[in-house]
Amino acid sequence: MTTLPEIQQIEKRIRDLGTTVKSEVLAYSEDKALRFPIYKITFGSEDPQAPVLGFVGGVHGLERIGAQVCVALMNSLAELTVWDQTLQSTLKNIRVFFIPTVNPIGIYRKTRSNPRGVDLMRNAPVDGDQPARWVGGHRVSSRLPWYRGVEGAPMEVEAQAMVKAVQDEIRHSPLALTLDLHSGFGFQDRLWFPYAKTVKPFPDLPMTYSLKNLLDRTYPHHFYRVEPQAQSYTTHGDLWDYIYDEHLKTADRQQKYLPLCLEMGSWMWVKKNPWQIFRSDGPFNPLKGHRHRRTLRRHNTLMEFLIRAVASPQAWANMNGEQEKEWALKAQELWYGTK
């Protein structure tokens, strides 16, 4: 049977961990003879009201490194759960989940879109403010990249599976963070926060600034550029905009949710190895062995930081009114050039 190395690794890990981990198949991505499961693996507290951290990868199949980093992080966390007593006790209070291969057929065929030609990150029922003509999403043809799908149609199987799983995880949680792993833009690793649909500030700017501040203080030499996604480009149909806005509508005011995207700066890899531009997956992945291995371990500190941040909300997420005002001002100044 045809499969993917990433899925084999996930299945091996599920077998090895047995009942100490919760695993499920959210849906199957299918096309002709291909049928790949979309797995979710969950560690830690089963209390719906526990703080939650989620990692997602492989939404854009061509950006395979995102799925691979997600699997690498999951594997490291899995090993730590076996012997690290500090983590074991942290996981009594929080939950960490992984959905590493949202678009497995896209990974298999090295396509950005799903098997029906839809760009999943343009597929949510969200309209952006004047995004770029093609890149921002269009409804012209599934043969062209960045296709949103038919207006009014339900979201694609892969998008629905991921959206529902994340919504179920964050519904009753007081604090939730998700990190979606992508590659292909710029020379630097960026941590993008909402919105993708508009350059206007999103409601949780103070909390986002507070998290950035915590990251800067804890790891002053980190290499992430934290910024709103729309500063790079605006799009229609971003799944995280959709999940965030739906959560805002239904959740309690005290329930906080911050969706982040890690956009790995793939131009660094191309700059060091210009020939790879001639391969379809070249612009989006580190192809040299040593660079690939370096990328797989590059974000371990970020995962550990996010686990600690979710487990210790008093350090950044529980702000009083005054603090919130102060962070809002600083965030406006830093990211929007206004006070």
A 10 A CB-CB count for 294 gives 12
Q: Which is nearer to Zn ion, 207 or 260 (CB)?
A: 260
Please work out the total of residues on this chain that contact Zn ion, with binding judged by CB under 5 A: 3
Q: Is 64 in the site for Zn ion (CB under 5 A)?
A: no
Torsion of CA 309, 315, 316, 318, to 10 degrees: 110
DSSP-derived letter for residue 152 is: T
Min dist. Cβ of residue 58 to Zn ion (A): 10
Min dist. Cβ of residue 180 to Zn ion (A): 8
Q: In angstroms, rounded to a whole number, what is the distance separating the alpha carbons of residues 183 and 68?
A: 11
Min dist. Cβ of residue 59 to Zn ion (A): 6
Q: Which is nearer to Zn ion, 63 or 245 (CB)?
A: 63
Q: Is 190 in the site for Zn ion (CB under 5 A)?
A: no
Within 134-173, the residues that bind Zn ion by CB under 5 A are none
Min dist. Cβ of residue 60 to Zn ion (A): 4
The single residue among 182, 190, 197, 256 that binds Zn ion, judged by CB under 5 A, is: 182
- CB contact at 8 A, 163 and 239: yes
Alpha carbon 157 to chain centroid, angstroms: 18
20 exposed, middle or buried (CB, 10 Å; 0-12, 13-18, 19+)? exposed
Composition of the chain by helix, strand, coil, percent to 5: 45, 20, 40
Q: Is 60 in the site for Zn ion (CB under 5 A)?
A: yes
Min dist. Cβ of residue 31 to Zn ion (A): 20
110 exposed, middle or buried (CB, 10 Å; 0-12, 13-18, 19+)? middle
Q: Which is nearer to Zn ion, 224 or 316 (CB)?
A: 224
Q: Which is nearer to Zn ion, 233 or 336 (CB)?
A: 233
Min dist. Cβ of residue 193 to Zn ion (A): 16
Torsion of CA 194, 197, 202, 204, to 10 degrees: -30
Q: Which is nearer to Zn ion, 90 or 266 (CB)?
A: 266
Q: Which is nearer to Zn ion, 65 or 226 (CB)?
A: 65
Q: Give residues in contact with Zn ion (CB under 5 A).
A: 60, 63, 182
